[in-house]
Amino acid sequence: MDRPIERAKDPKDRYNLRSDGEPGIDGHLGWFRRGPAVFTLYEIPADRSCYPNTPAVYLLDCDDGVGPHEVCRIESDAMDDPIWNGAWKNDEWCPWLLKQIRALIAASRDT
């Protein structure tokens, strides 16, 4: 029996939340898939209310059927030094994930 093709959640869906509990539409840059896992990239803006100001951060979430969980965070001024969450550190997918992240960030700047 063939399974229907699953789609990433609509970021405007009110039940779609990021791994940090914020609405999935906030900072949504796009998504990509590898196998059953759907990865979603968000931009969290810089915090201008503190001194010194914090840099913008990119958050990559993964949903493999049990809800979103954080894969990594990358400060916008440290793109080559992601902070991997848990078992993702040194995972064989990391280089591929970084390539996808950079492509989504570049595409968001082109629009």
pLDDT tens, 44-55? 888 777 677 777
What is the per-residue pLDDT for 47? 72
Residues 6+ apart with CB under 8 A from 41: 28, 29, 30, 31, 58, 59, 60, 61, 100, 101, 104, 105
C-alpha span between 23 and 93 (Å, rounded): 26
Q: What is the mean pLDDT of residues 64-82?
A: 89
Burial class (CB in 10 A: 0-12, 13-18, 19+), 74: buried
pLDDT, tens digit (0-9, with 9 covering 90-100), for 1-24: 444 344 556 655 655 788 888 777
Residues 18, 24 contacting (CB under 8 angstroms)? yes
- 106 secondary structure, DSSP code: H
Angle at 15 between CA 14 and CA 18, to 5 degrees: 100
Domain spans, the chain: 28-110
Region label for 36, one of left (φ > 0), alpha (ψ between -120 and 50) or beta (otherwise): alpha
**pLDDT at 102 exceeding the cut of 90:** yes
* Model pTM score: 0.81
